[in-house]
Amino acid sequence: MNYMKDVAVVGVGKTRFGAFADRDLRSLAVESIENALSDAGIEPSAVNAFYLGNFAGPSFTGQSHLAPYIAGAADITGVPASRFEAACASSGAAFHAAWQAVAHGIYETVLVCGVEKMTSQPAARVAAILAMAGDVAVDGTFPEIFAAIARRHMELYGTTREHLAAVAVKNHAHGATNPFAHLRKVITLEQALASKVIAAPLTLYDCSLVSDGAAAVILSANKGQVKVLACAQTSDHVALRDKAEITHLPSIQRAAQQAYKMANLSANDIHFAELHDCFTIAEILAVEELGFCRKGEGGPWSQAQPIPINRSGGLKSKGHPVGATGVAQIADVTLQLRGQATGWQLENVDIGLAQNLGGSGATSVVTILGKRN
Amino acid sequence: MNYMKDVAVVGVGKTRFGAFADRDLRSLAVESIENALSDAGIEPSAVNAFYLGNFAGPSFTGQSHLAPYIAGAADITGVPASRFEAACASSGAAFHAAWQAVAHGIYETVLVCGVEKMTSQPAARVAAILAMAGDVAVDGTFPEIFAAIARRHMELYGTTREHLAAVAVKNHAHGATNPFAHLRKVITLEQALASKVIAAPLTLYDCSLVSDGAAAVILSANKGQVKVLACAQTSDHVALRDKAEITHLPSIQRAAQQAYKMANLSANDIHFAELHDCFTIAEILAVEELGFCRKGEGGPWSQAQPIPINRSGGLKSKGHPVGATGVAQIADVTLQLRGQATGWQLENVDIGLAQNLGGSGATSVVTILGKRN
């Protein structure tokens, strides 16, 4: 590995997540970009390259070529502008490439935006578009995929529906305090357990939200308050049937191991994390693969919650505008480290982790951020 | 700019371009990847990262998350795998990022694949999907966009229908000798001029083909016969109405200037080029923006053809599987420089250029390759 520069998150911009009938994809993205530029105190002309994460803009909104389409509207032209698509890890992948480029001296300052506009499509169409993140020929819908994983986890490790529901209850309680969250609603364990079954054992409250929203971060080799300590991206087969054991997502584990090594840290050093809880079982898998607990112990560990997970509300309550999620996680970890998570601020946190998942683990991105001393 | 490593194209793999009712997107991509690995003499495990260029796989085939979907089928897992979408410059953008990564020491060996499977959709649906590369709210179809550019070029510079038709005649003559070309058919000037009007003044023979196909290249910091002398990507507004003058595509000019500077070369040093002739007028614009001739002189210059342009047949005759085109151009320039363009080999060529265009100029990638002394 060559000498790498320190990379800082010097600007953060978000829109609220929600269902916004009067907002289109581009206006959401541009709002997040303008907020990030303003936060960093720089002009669009200072951006050396534009990285866009978007899962399915063409399918949801009928528009492709989204990187220059959005960049141009934000007065960013003349520089490389590319869209990354890696399912639900689209903007995690964009962030990873952007971070690499600054760390290796290709660019001084880059902007990474993630966006998705989902709510203009009927629910059945949304489910069909989301299913394209799996192998459409052999996988089912995503609730079915994660239901199969949950059943197997229950069978192997004794995980219970209460363990799953506890994740939902926690994340809803968290999101209720985040002004940018989509569904700011506290729920009880009883409500979670009694909610409508989507794909057994998963109920409505085990599933993340269909949301509109955007997030943007600006990375720079200049000094900044929040530093990217590590970022790693890995891949795996898309189809669930091609995995050796469906409760084990090696792409998360591998990305985490690479990130810990790069940051010279271990799982024990992480103070808090934003994890990819597209379904409650996904958060349980993630804490296991990240090494926060041993394999199979994710249910009880999550209930005990020794470090705060998804203090923003997570995909479950903050919302999951698919292409925005990876960058939104980075933005939220950054806000925490800056002490700017107004209403949902954690005390005494210096090191945070963000974990973004594509499909059922075909893409994983793990990023560790730290407060500069 | 940091110290940059020499990057070589060490492997090339292509499928034939054509309309293949019995082939799916993944099998085409995997065929090109396996050919490239075999050409480079390396195993899938030697690939440090996978870059996919694909414009509209989700719309054409109903499958997203294509980078790990394809990489996994080619036994490439555990490494970063991302899909780039930049309209017709999707795999040009993927190549640019891959080249940057090797040049800056991020990876030793990477694989870039471009693929599109278009012919399984009816013509009207294909046109609608292609239109998403423009601004769907304000642009028309692409034949309409390039027809408007052609009319304006005729008005400003006296370009004639004969100039346009001459590009088609030349590229068909070229493609007829390329065994990998989609439409290996020689046409006459009279046929080109008399063909059906698609959007005046453009006729059927002014338009590139709707094709299936894939291409892959392997880049490595190790020594190889063909070196990447320069690669530059730039962006501009997507909507035609946002351009100051529609016959001027500044993204091509800017990318070319950056590439010449990086390679320490000028337009006069280029021995041959593969250009983005999505329409005949686009090739005429490209030779002007690349500095092969002065603005407005692209028609007569193309007729005189002082250096070979699109000896492969170009998008016009070789075919235009959108996401494959950028990498296919690089592959074809490499084959020429190696002396392996069997049937369509040029004599005494040491430096070749590839120019890939997204939409009506919102994305441009210009790459210069040279034979190693």
Q: Give residue limits of the domains in chain A.
A: 8-122+211-220
Summarize pLDDT for B258-304 with one digit per residue, the tens: 999 999 999 999 999 999 999 999 999 999 999 999 999 999 999 99
**Model confidence over A158-188: pLDDT tens digits?**
999 999 999 999 999 999 999 999 999 999 9
Tell me the chain A residues in contact with residue B100 when contact means C-beta distances shorter than 8 Å. 101, 106
Chain position carrying tokens 């000028």: B266
Distance, CA of A188 to CA of A152 (rounded, Å): 25
Contact A235 B71 (CB under 8 A): yes
Cβ of B85 within 8 Å of Cβ of A81? The answer is no
DSSP codes joined into one string, B257-323: HHHHHHHT--GGG--EEE---SBHHHHHHHHHHTTSS-TT-HHHHHHH-SS-B-TT-HHHHT---GG
Q: Does B58 touch chain A (CB under 8 A)?
A: yes
Residue A8: burial class (beta carbons within 10 Å; 0-12, 13-18, 19+): buried
Smallest Cα distance from B148 to chain A, Å: 20
End-to-end CA, chain A: 25
Question: Which of A 13-42 lie inside 8 A of B, CB atoms?
Answer: none
Residues of B in contact with A71 (CB under 8 A): 235
By C-alpha distance, the chain A residue nearest B361 is A68
Give the confidence band of A352 by pLDDT, cuts at 50, 70, 90.
very high
Distance CA A66, CA A15 (A): 18
- The answer to whether B153 is a known catalytic residue is no
Q: Which amino acid is at A19?
A: A
Reported as a single tens digit per residue, the pLDDT across A360-369 is 999 999 999 9
Measuring CA to CA, which residue among A203, A208, A241 is closest to residue A360? A241
> pLDDT digit string (tens) for A93-111?
999 999 999 999 999 999 9
Q: Which residues contact B143 (CB under 8 A, 6 or more apart)?
A: B198, B199, B202, B207, B279
List CB contacts (< 8 A) between A139 and chain B.
none
Residues 89-128 of A with CB under 8 A from B: 93, 96-97, 100-101, 104-106
Instruction: Using pLDDT thresholds of 50, 70 and 90, give the confidence band for residue A222.
Output: confident
H helix runs in chain B, sequence order: 25-40, 57-61, 66-73, 90-103, 123-131, 142-157, 161-175, 189-194, 250-263, 280-289, 298-304, 314-317, 325-338
Q: How many CB atoms lie within 10 A of CB B117?
A: 27
Q: What ipTM was estimated for this complex?
A: 0.97
Q: Is the peptide bond before A201 cis (omega within 30 degrees of 0)?
A: yes
For residue B179, cis peptide bond before it (omega within 30 degrees of 0): no
Q: Which of A163, A182, A276, A320 is catalytic?
A: A320
Q: With CB atoms and an 8 Å threshold, state whether B83 touches A79.
A: no
pLDDT at residue A49 greater than cutoff 90: yes
The answer to whether B81 contacts chain A (CB < 8 Å) is: yes
Helix ranges (DSSP H) in chain A? 25-40, 57-61, 66-73, 90-103, 123-131, 142-157, 161-175, 189-194, 250-263, 280-289, 298-304, 314-317, 325-338
Per-residue model confidence as pLDDT tens digits over A294-347: 999 999 999 999 999 999 999 999 999 999 999 999 999 999 999 999 999 999
Preferred mutation among B60, B95, B235 to probe A, highest tally of A CBs within 10 A: B235
Helix axes B280-289, B161-175, angle to 10 degrees: 100
Nearest CB partner across the interface for B359, out of A65, A71, A82: A65
Q: Which of B56, B72, B101 sits opposite A237 (nearest CB)?
A: B72
Per-block average pLDDT, block size 10, for chain B (373 residues)?
83 98 98 98 98 98 98 98 98 98 97 98 96 96 97 98 98 98 97 97 97 98 91 98 97 98 98 98 98 98 97 98 98 98 97 98 98 83
Of A81, A150, A143, the closest CA to residue B234 belongs to A81
Assess whether pLDDT exceeds 60 at residue A2.
no
Whether residue A151 has pLDDT greater than 90: yes
How large is the average pLDDT for residues A67-76? 98
> A258-274, pLDDT tens digit by residue?
999 999 999 999 999 99
- Cβ within 8 Å of residue B364, ≥6 positions away: B89, B92, B233, B234, B235, B236, B249, B251, B252, B254, B255, B355, B356, B357, B358
CATH architecture assigned to B8-122+211-220: 3-Layer(aba) Sandwich (3.40)
> Residues A13-39: what's their mean pLDDT?
98
**The pLDDT value given to residue B1:** 45
pLDDT at A193 over 50: yes
Check whether A3 has a pLDDT greater than 90: no
Q: How many other CB atoms are found less than 10 A from the CB of residue A6?
A: 15
Rg value, chain B, Cα? 19
Q: Do B78 and A254 touch (CB under 8 A)?
A: yes
Output DSSP code: residue B228.
E
Helix H or strand E segment including A269? none
Contact residues on chain A for B58, CB-CB shorter than 8 A? 56, 58-59, 132
Whether A252 and chain B come into contact, CB under 8 Å, resolves to no
Name the β-bridge partners of A109. Answer: A220
The pair of three-digit structure tokens given for residue A236, joined into one six-digit string = 């795996």
Query: pLDDT value at position A1?
Result: 45
Q: Is A172 in the active site?
A: no
Give the pair of three-digit tokens for residue A324: 């925005």
pLDDT value, residue B224: 85
Alpha-carbon span B153 to B176, nearest angstrom: 29
Residues 204-243 of A with CB under 8 A from B: 233-238, 242
